[in-house]
């Protein structure tokens, strides 16, 4: 109730009465009051409480946490309440004395005799590490000591939190380094303190020790999370944070353990190796990988332990992901070792499910490395064998375990995506095979709920696979022509798939249909009658907004494929899109693509868009006003605002171009002042990204081109046709320059006419 | 206020293939939208460059594509 009322200032006495209860003697009242304060802080946004209230809550909570509090339950409730209150105490964390006090109490609580209190205290430390990274410098030596002791000696739930503290510090430093591209200047917002780099000589040995604490069969348990997994994950983050510096610290551990009789040592060494492959430079890693590759391939074939084989296949995948491909200079894959690698991976796909899944994953990245290889891929001679092996995996009885079936289809997708012309006939042969698989799933009847779930999963994977194939074969004229002989049957299958009610499957089928519409072009019109009900259903799917977003994109595909043949369906489509925009239920991320979709529709149906103007234009206008003056509070909001602006501008472009050369052009005249004003305000505020700049200056051109001399005076009065246009004409971004060249031509024509 | 789940992705790629399929579809759609726009503009530009003088209204526009 407080979560609803307090933000509206409707229960002002609540915090005061809870605080006075805390000062009572009975421990259970204290405990309940602290828990309630904790819940309150969890529910309400920080601005809902004023600083005076925050100070009082903090004082009560910290007192409840301190060692002088004799009651364990009270201390635990206070520690958990602090976890939730941390977002409120910005001001207190800026004060050195207050911060020192809070940190001392938290660190003391990590040493409590009670496991739950220690665990909750570490949760506070983890949260502090991400919220107040920049304030941590003076506490790091002490924190290192207590976390190292916890990782080595404490019980697992506490040790896991202690590792999480270091993973969280890595997350922060990776973000900071990403933001500033490694260059720090005095005016950088948050400086990197290089805590990880400083702790490295002690941190890495501590993490390496954890790798030896694996659980038996952890690879078969989807929900497993233990010290070895957390330690290896943290080691991977450390490698990403410090790069090359980690390599000499980990190599001795790998060399010492990789060939030991105890599987735990071999697995830990392999996991350590796999974990540090992202971060250090390929130059640093390539010589080591060149030596290790043969050893890894042999281990994958011959190691007696499944856990070791699993980690070995995963490590091979990481080698291919980070040290192979056209962008990697010191690639470790040559034409010579490629065949040997493939032989081992295909053999390994017959292994137990978790190992076979990792082998599929490794093949995924091996194929990806040949994405830009040109016409002749080293995989081509083995293409048939690869496809066959992957299809065989999908038919395994145990393919439902360890995500094996999914991994096999996903790898098949990547192999197809990265295939070249020379293997196009084999991709073509795959079309009826995958269609037959999909057909089989549709024939199955009287299924139990488990079987139905499995069936949906397989249908989603098959539709995904067909989508990739359609896109591949549809991308060249020769293959497209042959492929389209399957279009009728394929469309029939997709429509039958829609009858199964499952969001993921709908999304996959919708994406595949979008690709098919693009490949088919105007001939897609014959499928529209049958497909339209499902299209409308997709546009109405508020709950699974991804399905709605994908469907909006498919409407765009249909507009480009059908052009004016989409007209009979536009009333229904526009009604639904307008409803989506007006709905408060609809996820905000779907709104920008809906605006872009208005542009697609207008471009396709031209002046027939007239009847929608009275509805679409006011919506565009109010969204434009909102987005022009949106307060950019955070990165996400800035990104969203730019997406919204881009969608609105794409709508305007499509509408102007659609009406071009129509006798009804004058209908747009009354909207021109507002649109020019929107462009001017975007230019004045100067916080749009390059994509918006390009689209905005293009709209100026489209407006001038369509309205011509009738809008001459209006255009001349705008800032956009002068400073904004000049700035874009001298832009280094060729797309902005291209749009600006167009705008200049159209504007000069409008002004001279 | 239960302890929060701290599990991180383990031996899994950063982006799923499903996510890749979505992103590739989105990229294709954006590219094709931009191609359609450019086609319309190119057509208009060609007409402009071929017709430096405004044509009498009775004369039909030249279709170039």
pLDDT in tens, A589-633: 999 999 999 999 999 999 999 999 999 999 999 999 988 877 666
Chain A residues with CB inside 8 Å of B61's CB? 661
Averaged pLDDT, A361-368:
97
For the stretch A228-243, pLDDT in tens is 999 999 999 999 999 9
* B43/A665 Cα distance (integer angstroms): 18
How confident is the model over A681-703, as a mean pLDDT? 93
Res A181: pLDDT: 67
Asked whether the predicted pLDDT for residue A267 surpasses 50, the reply is yes
Residue range A736-747: mean pLDDT, rounded? 95
At A178 the pLDDT is 87
Interface probe for B, chosen from A234, A411, A510, A705 (most Cβ of B below 10 Å), is A705
Statement: residue A706 has pLDDT above 50: yes
Show residues of chain A in contact with B50, CB under 8 Å.
none
Burial of A635 (0-12, 13-18, 19+ CB in 10 A): exposed
Phi, psi of B64 (to 5 degrees): -100, -25
Q: What is the pLDDT of residue A212?
A: 97
DSSP 8-class letter at B3: P
CB contact under 8 A, A468 and B21: yes
Interface residue A641 vs chain B (CB under 8 A)? no
Q: What is the dihedral of CA A421, A471, A649, A616, to 10 degrees?
A: 150
Closest CA in chain B for residue A738? B38
Closest CA to A648 of A695, A585, A582: A695
B46: distance to nearest CA of chain A, Å? 11
Nearest to A38 by CA among B2, B17, B55: B2
Q: Which residues fall within 8 angstroms of residue A659, CB to CB, at 6 or more apart? A: A602, A606, A607, A609, A665, A667, A668, A706
Question: For residue B65, what pLDDT band results from cuts at 50, 70 and 90?
Answer: very low
Tell me if B41 and A84 make a contact (CB, 8 A cut-off): no
Across A17-21, A145-149, A353-357, A713-717, least confident range: A17-21
Alpha carbon distance A163, A143 (integer Å): 11
pLDDT, one tens digit per residue, over B8-27 is: 888 988 889 999 999 999 99
User: What does the DSSP assignment read for A489-544?
Assistant: HHHHHHHHHHTS--HHHHHHHHHHHHHHHHHHGGGGGGGHHHHHHHHHHHHT--SS
In this predicted model, what pLDDT tens digit does every residue of A391-409 receive, in sequence order?
999 999 999 999 999 999 9
Hey, what are A128's tokens? Answer: 């502090």
Q: What pLDDT does residue A621 have? A: 95
CA angle A531, A533, A538 (to 5 degrees): 95
Candidate from A64-73, A116-125, A341-350, A355-364 with smallest mean pLDDT: A64-73
The reply to whether A695 touches chain B by the CB within 8 Å rule is no
Average pLDDT, chain A: 93
B63 to chain A: which residues are within 8 Å by CB?
none
How close does chain A come to B42, measured CA to CA in Å? 8
Confidence at B57, pLDDT banded by 50, 70, 90: very low
The C-alpha atoms of residue A714 and residue A710 are separated, in whole angstroms, by 9
SS (H, E, C) A259-318: CCCCHHHHHHHHHHHHHCCCCCCHHHHHHHHHHHHHHHHHHHHHCCCHHHHHHHHHHHHH
Torsion on CA atoms A672, A674, A676, A681, rounded to nearest 10? -170
Show residues of chain B in contact with A150, CB under 8 Å: none
pLDDT score at A7: 86
pLDDT digits (tens, 9 = 90+) for A561-581: 999 999 999 999 999 999 999
B36, A413: Cβ pair inside 8 Å? Answer: no
> Looking at the predicted structure, is the pLDDT value of residue A179 above 60?
yes
pLDDT above 50 for A746: yes
Does A474 reach chain B within 8 Å, measured CB to CB? no
CB contact under 8 A, A464 and B17: yes
Is residue B38 scored above 70 in pLDDT?
A: yes
Residue B38 CA to chain centroid, in angstroms?
10
Tokens in use for A567? 């007209």
Residues A43-87: tens digit of each pLDDT:
888 888 889 989 999 999 999 998 888 899 999 999 999 999 999
* Residue A520, phi then psi, degrees to nearest 5: -80, -35
Separation between Cα atoms, residue A699 and residue A713, nearest integer Å: 17
Q: What is the mean pLDDT of residues A234-263?
A: 98
Q: What is the pLDDT of residue B63?
A: 43
Tell me, what's the pLDDT at A632?
A: 65
DSSP per-residue letters across A190-250: S----HHHHHHHHHHHHHHHHTT-PPTTGGG-TT---HHHHHHHHHHHHHHHHGGGGHHHH
pLDDT-based confidence at residue A724 (cuts at 50, 70, 90)? very high
Q: Is A603 on the interface with B (CB under 8 A)?
A: yes
B59 pLDDT band, cuts 50/70/90, is very low
Q: How confident is the model at residue A185 (pLDDT cuts 50, 70, 90)?
A: low
Q: Is A726 exposed, middle or buried (0-12, 13-18, 19+ CB in 10 A)?
A: exposed
């Amino acid at each position: 109730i407080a979560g609803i009322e307090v933000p509206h200032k409707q229960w002002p006495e609540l915090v005061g009465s809870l605080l006075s209860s805390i000062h009572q003697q009975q421990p259970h009242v204290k405990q309940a009051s602290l828990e309630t304060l904790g819940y309150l802080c969890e529910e309400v946004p920080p601005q809902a409480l004023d600083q005076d209230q925050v100070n009082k809550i903090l004082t009560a909570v910290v007192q409840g946490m301190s060692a002088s509090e004799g009651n364990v339950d009270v201390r635990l409730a206070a520690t958990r309440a602090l976890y939730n209150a941390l977002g409120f105490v910005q001001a207190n964390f800026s004060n050195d004395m207050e911060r020192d006090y809070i940190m001392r109490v938290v660190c003391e609580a990590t040493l409590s005799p009670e496991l739950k209190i220690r665990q909750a205290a570490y949760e506070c430390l983890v949260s502090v590490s991400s919220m107040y990274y920049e304030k941590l410098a003076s506490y790091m030596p002490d924190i290192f000591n207590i976390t190292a002791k916890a990782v080595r000696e404490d019980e697992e739930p506490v040790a896991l939190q202690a590792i999480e503290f270091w993973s969280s510090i890595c997350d922060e430093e990776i973000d900071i380094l990403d933001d500033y591209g490694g260059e720090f200047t005095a005016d950088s917002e948050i400086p990197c303190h290089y805590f990880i780099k400083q702790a490295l000589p002690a941190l890495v040995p501590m993490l390496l020790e954890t790798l030896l604490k694996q659980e038996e069969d952890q690879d078969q348990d989807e929900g497993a999370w233990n010290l070895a997994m957390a330690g290896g994950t943290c080691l991977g983050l450390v490698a990403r944070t410090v790069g090359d510096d980690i390599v000499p610290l980990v190599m001795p551990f790998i060399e010492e353990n990789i060939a030991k009789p105890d599987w735990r040592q071999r697995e830990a060494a392999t996991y350590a190796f796999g974990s540090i492959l992202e971060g250090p430079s390929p130059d640093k890693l390539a010589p080591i990988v060149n030596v290790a590759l043969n050893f890894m391939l042999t281990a994958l074939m011959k190691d007696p332990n499944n856990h070791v084989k699993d980690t070995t296949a995963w490590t091979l995948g990481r080698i291919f992901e980070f040290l192979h491909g056209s962008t990697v200079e010191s690639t470790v894959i040559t034409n010579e070792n490629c065949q040997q690698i493939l032989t081992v991976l295909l053999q390994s796909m017959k292994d137990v499910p978790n190992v076979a899944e990792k082998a599929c994953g490794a093949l995924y990245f091996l194929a990806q490395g040949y994405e830009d290889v040109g016409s002749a891929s080293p995989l081509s001679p083995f293409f048939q064998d690869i496809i066959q092996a992957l299809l065989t995996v999908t038919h395994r009885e145990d393919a439902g375990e360890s995500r094996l079936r999914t991994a096999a289809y996903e790898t098949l997708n990547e192999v197809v995506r990265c295939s070249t012309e020379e293997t196009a006939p084999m991709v073509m042969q795959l079309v009826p095979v995958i269609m037959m698989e999909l057909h089989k799933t549709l024939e199955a009847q009287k299924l139990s709920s488990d079987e139905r779930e499995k069936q949906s999963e397989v249908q989603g994977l098959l539709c995904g696979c067909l989508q990739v194939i359609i896109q591949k074969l549809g991308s060249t004229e020769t293959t497209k022509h042959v492929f389209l002989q399957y279009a009728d049957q394929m469309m029939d299958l997709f429509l039958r798939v829609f009858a199964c009610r499952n969001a993921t499957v709908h999304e996959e089928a919708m994406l595949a249909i979008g690709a098919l519409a693009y490949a088919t072009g105007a001939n897609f019109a014959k499928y529209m009658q049958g497909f339209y009900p499902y299209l409308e259903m997709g546009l109405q799917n508020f709950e699974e907004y991804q399905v709605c977003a994908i469907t909006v994109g498919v409407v765009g595909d249909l507009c480009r494929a059908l052009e004016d043949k989409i007209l009979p369906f536009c009333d229904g489509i526009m009604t639904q899109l307008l409803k989506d925009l007006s709905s408060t239920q609809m996820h905000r991320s779907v709104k920008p693509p809906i605006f872009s979709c208005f542009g697609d529709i207008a471009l396709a149906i031209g002046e027939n868009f007239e009847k929608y103007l009275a509805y679409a234009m006011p919506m565009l206008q109010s969204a434009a006003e909102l987005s022009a003056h949106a307060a950019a509070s955070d990165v996400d909001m800035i990104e969203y605002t730019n997406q919204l602006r881009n969608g609105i501008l794409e709508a305007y472009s499509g509408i102007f171009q659609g009406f071009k050369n129509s006798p009804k052009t004058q209908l747009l005249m009354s909207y021109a002042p507002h649109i020019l004003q929107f462009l001017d305000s975007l230019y004045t505020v100067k916080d749009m990204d390059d994509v918006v700049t390009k689209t905005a200056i293009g709209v100026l051109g489209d407006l001038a081109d369509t309205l011509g001399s009738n809008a001459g005076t209006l255009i001349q009065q705008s800032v956009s046709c002068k400073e904004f246009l000049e700035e874009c004409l001298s832009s280094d971004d060729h797309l902005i320059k291209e749009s600006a060249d167009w705008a200049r031509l159209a504007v000069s024509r409008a002004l001279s006419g | 206020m239960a302890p929060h789940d701290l599990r991180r992705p383990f031996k899994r790629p950063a982006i799923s293939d499903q996510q890749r399929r979505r992103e590739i579809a989105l990229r294709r759609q954006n590219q094709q939208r931009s191609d359609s726009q450019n086609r319309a503009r190119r057509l208009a530009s060609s007409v402009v460059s071929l017709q430096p003088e405004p044509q009498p209204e009775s004369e039909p526009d030249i279709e170039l594509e």
